[in-house]
Amino acid sequence: MPNPNRPGPNMPNPNMPNPNRPGPKVSVASLFATRLYRADNSPEETTRLNRELGASIRSFAEEDGAGIAWCEENNYPGYTSYSSLFDLPLRAPCFGDLKKLIDRHVRVFAEDLHFDLAGGKIRLDHIWVNLLEPGGFHSGHIHPHSVISGTYYVEIPDGSAGLRFEDPRLGLMMGAPLRRSDARTELKPFVTEFPKPGMLLLWESFLRHEVLRHDGTSPRLSASFNYAWK
Ligand SMILES: [Fe+2]
């Protein structure tokens, strides 16, 4: 039996304004947007590029002694060139091609963000590669000293880890309730993207994110980068 005290199909919800009754006009705006840029680049554009990038990443993972030592010291589950190689676009032509592709998307994203660059430019500051072994993860972090950060995905085996973004205001929410599981994406405190080869994600560098545990059976290969305002 329907409960007469609960709003139902024939009973207006008293919590919502009734548009047919006279009363104040009500609207809800979304303020302080957090933008996430996603480009699903086509296989035609990325298959050869990804093959070359994959081969380069694997050769760095075997030959970059300083990077391998850094990964061991810092318990990185695989290999990253983050602290050892700072000239990837000059080192192999495929990284020069990748830089051109990312530059193109960063320009579009900077427009979308309505940045007033005041005569300056958003330029690549650092690009590095990641070879994440099965079982590996990368805990929550931001990218300091930059404006736009992102990742390009090279090899994404089945079971690959997602990238989870966190609402930057989470620490301010104190007594607020959790959001319903069916909340709109823009209202969720955590949003996870699941990469595919050739996909590019861009976000503002303040946005905290983490790579969830990689449950694939082979390494997950990607290139991450920071762009700064210069
Ligand atoms: Fe990151």
197, 50 Cβ separation under 8 angstroms:
yes
Find the Cα–Cα–Cα–Cα dihedral 169, 215, 105, 122, rounded to 10°: 60
Secondary-structure breakdown of the chain: helix, strand, coil percentages, each rounded to the nearest 5? 25, 25, 50
In 3-state terms, what secondary structure has residue 113? Answer: coil
Angle at Cα 86 formed by Cα 155 and Cα 89, nearest 5°? Answer: 60
Within a domain: residue 25? Answer: no
Please state the separation of Cα 2 from the chain's center in Å: 46
**Tens digits of per-residue pLDDT, 128-175?**
999 999 999 999 999 999 999 999 999 999 989 899 999 999 889 888
**18 Cα–ligand 1 center, Å:** 46
Mean local confidence (pLDDT), 187-215: 97
Give how many domains the chain has, as a whole number: 1
- In 3D, which of 154, 134, 128 has the Cα closest to residue 55? 154
Within a domain: residue 155? Answer: yes
Element (H, E) at 94: helix 93-112
CATH of the domain at 90: 2.60.120.620
**149 Cα–ligand 1 center, Å:** 8
Within a domain: residue 29? Answer: no
**4 Cα–ligand 1 center, Å:** 52
Please list, in sequence order, all residues whose beta carbon lies within 8 angstroms of the beta carbon of residue 127, skipping any fewer than 6 positions away: 88, 89, 95, 98, 99, 102, 223, 224, 225, 226
Give residue 51's domain range: 36-169+187-213
Within a domain: residue 52? Answer: yes
Residue 1's pLDDT band (cuts 50, 70, 90): very low
Residue 11's pLDDT band (cuts 50, 70, 90): low
Within a domain: residue 117? Answer: yes
**124 Cα–ligand 1 center, Å:** 15
**141 Cα–ligand 1 center, Å:** 6
**55 Cα–ligand 1 center, Å:** 22
CA distances from residue 15 to 7, 19, 22 in whole angstroms, order as listed: 9, 12, 15
**166 Cα–ligand 1 center, Å:** 12
**Tens digits of per-residue pLDDT, 39-87?**
999 999 999 999 999 999 999 999 999 999 999 999 999 999 999 999 9
Which pLDDT score is estimated for 3? 53
**201 Cα–ligand 1 center, Å:** 11
142, 224 Cβ separation under 8 angstroms:
no
Within a domain: residue 22? Answer: no
Within a domain: residue 28? Answer: no
Residue 15: is its pLDDT beyond 70? no
**175 Cα–ligand 1 center, Å:** 29
The side-by-side arrangement of strands in the sheet containing 209-211 is 138-141, 209-211, 163-166, 190-193
**106 Cα–ligand 1 center, Å:** 16
In 3-state terms, what secondary structure has residue 106? Answer: helix
Token representation of residue 122: 């958003």
**209 Cα–ligand 1 center, Å:** 6
**200 Cα–ligand 1 center, Å:** 13
Within a domain: residue 148? Answer: yes
**25 Cα–ligand 1 center, Å:** 43
